[in-house]
Chain A
Amino acid sequence: MKLKNALTIASATDAGLVRNFNEDSVSTNEELGLVVLADGMGGYKAGDVASGMATMIIGNELKEHLGKGLDKSNGVDLETELLRTAITRANQAIYHAAHNKTQFQGMGTTVVATLFRDNVVTIAHAGDSRLYRLRGEKFDQLTVDHSLLQEQVQLGLISAEDARVSHNRNLVTRALGVTQTIAVDVRQERAQVGDIYLLCSDGLNDMVDDADIELAMRSIKENIPLLVRQLVMMANDNGGHDNISVAAIKVEKPFPLRSGFFARWFGAYV
């Protein structure tokens, strides 16, 4: 089973209606089952440099390592380790660029990444870009924002309902390129046929209610490219105050690493 045939992947990114620049970056790699979305910030128009570096470096790192035909036997949590290492490398590269070139000073980026491999999805993130999942009747947010707003709620300073009137939604507590080391949250989930995963920058979830994001995912399950376009449109219809990026992955078939006799001989995904 080729991974490409097991997953449907689509993405869209848009500057929104207020900003002149799009500082978000999205990259998808169907062969690797990798989707990376980054929301850049800071610097003089350098946000897109930071987010572009993040998606590129993470993609290249994984291509290099997974291309070697590594499989489960190399370690229990190979994907977790690979993704964490790739993001750490991206952080270092952005950090160095930001500190060595004046035009990149102060740049940084959030990141959320999903790696689909062997019927498992590995999820990594830093910052306030999100991952949602629709699984049958259940709609969940699988990432917890690294933002001041989230911390305020977590600490009981304000209620989850009050988050809507907070002025802190734009303050992230973690971002790539800002400090020499980065704490990355990584988790793994068993993927199921029919699951739809949605990565997005805050330009979507700050403009479109979670309930409407869920409604779109339920209504447009059978057309993933339309789903991402529709969500971008809804964010713009509601004001489009920020850059909007959306990527969606639908699991069409199981994607075990070794599925048959030939797979055992010729390695992964033949």
Chain B
Amino acid sequence: MAKLVLSMNGSVLGNYFLEKERFSFGRKPTCDIQINDQGVSKEHAVILTVGNDQILEDLGSTNGTLVNGEKVQRHILQNGDVIEVGRYKLRFVNAKAMPDMDFDKTLMIPAFDRTKLKQEGAVKDEADTQSITTAAANARNVKTIFPLGAVRGIGGENTGREIDLSRSITALGKPDNSAIITRRPVGYFITHVVGKKHPIVNGKAIGDDPYPLDNLDQIEVGVDKLQFYLK
């Protein structure tokens, strides 16, 4: 269960469990946490619980709502976030809401009640359908610890040209005879994609499997000759 720890000047004033779908705080006595502070608006902000998310929303307060020192309008709370309203601090505690979230087995839950949320004024009119990228923020592509690699042309049309291998995949060659260099956590690899001739590394043709590249390896893809190097 997610909770808020209310404090001022370092002394804890209370713990509040977010048991309700809509949890409000402000100066008004009807708020779930009443905060008597002139810097706090009557209905200052609200926390909506949707599935595993707690979403903090400022309700147009005069002095604003800060999370970890930054002003927010809407924010998905993460474990350990510190919300500031007026002179008060609210620490958000929810072991489940870690940034490197668990990939718990997919659960089936019913779609939530749009009408109810609309009545509560919690949601805007439906936006157009949009694709969302769900790739976890912590699933950083290729957590590389080795230096950036690059290739320079040393023969063929691309002589003298240099290409940084900063993306996860870099394509080489022509549509009918090509290879890719992939950037992986353990290093760079070259893989044959298509064409009768497999790429040649230091004079030897590679097989079908990704082939690890070493600094200053010489690569041939079709008529192009390249040198791989680490920057």
Query: Which chain B residues numbered 155 to 204 have a C-beta less than 8 Å away from chain A?
Result: 167-171, 175-176, 178, 180, 182, 184-185, 191, 193-194
State whether B168 touches A148 (Cβ < 8 A). Answer: no
Interface string of A217-246 (1 = CB under 8 A from B): 011111100100010011001110110000
Q: In the bound complex, how far is the Cα of B133 from the Cα of A241, in angstroms?
A: 17
State whether B142 touches A166 (Cβ < 8 A). Answer: no
Interface string of A121-145 (1 = CB under 8 A from B): 0000001100000000000110011
With known contacts A158-B76, A215-B169, A18–B103 Cβ distance under 8 A: yes
Q: In the bound complex, how far is the Cα of B136 from the Cα of A182, in angstroms?
A: 29
Interface string of B46-75 (1 = CB under 8 A from A): 001011110100000000000000000010
Q: Is A189's beta carbon under 8 Å from chain B?
A: no
Q: Is A251's beta carbon under 8 Å from chain B?
A: no
**Nearest CB to that of B96 among chain A residues?**
A167
Interface string of A155-180 (1 = CB under 8 A from B): 11111101111111111111100100
With known contacts A128-B106, A167-B52, A238-B140, A212–B168 Cβ distance under 8 A: yes
**Which of A144, A154, A222, A226 is within 8 Å of B126, CB to CB?**
A154
**Which of B78, B103, B167 is within 8 Å of A215, CB to CB?**
B167
**Nearest CB to that of B177 among chain A residues?**
A222
Q: In the bound complex, how far is the Cα of B135 from the Cα of A48, in angstroms?
A: 24
Q: Is B134's beta carbon under 8 Å from chain A?
A: yes
State whether A42 touches B108 (Cβ < 8 A). Answer: yes
Tell me the count of chain B residues lying within 8 A, CB to CB, of chain A: 61
Which residues of the other chain, A, contact B184 by a CB distance below 8 angstroms?
A: 233, 237
Query: Which chain B residues numbered 114 to 143 have a C-beta less than 8 Å away from chain A?
Result: 114, 117, 122-127, 129-143
Q: In the bound complex, how far is the Cα of B117 from the Cα of A163, in angstroms?
A: 19
Q: What would be 29 A-B contacts, judged by CB atoms less than 8 Å apart? A: A18-B103, A148-B51, A152-B51, A154-B130, A155-B123, A155-B124, A155-B127, A156-B127, A158-B76, A160-B133, A162-B74, A164-B134, A164-B136, A164-B137, A165-B76, A168-B50, A168-B52, A171-B51, A173-B108, A202-B106, A205-B134, A208-B141, A212-B169, A215-B169, A216-B168, A230-B191, A234-B141, A237-B184, A239-B138
Query: A interface vs B, CB < 8 Å?
Result: 18, 39, 41-42, 47, 108, 110, 127-128, 140-141, 144-146, 148-160, 162-175, 178, 202, 205-210, 212, 215-216, 218-223, 226, 230, 233-234, 237-239, 241-242
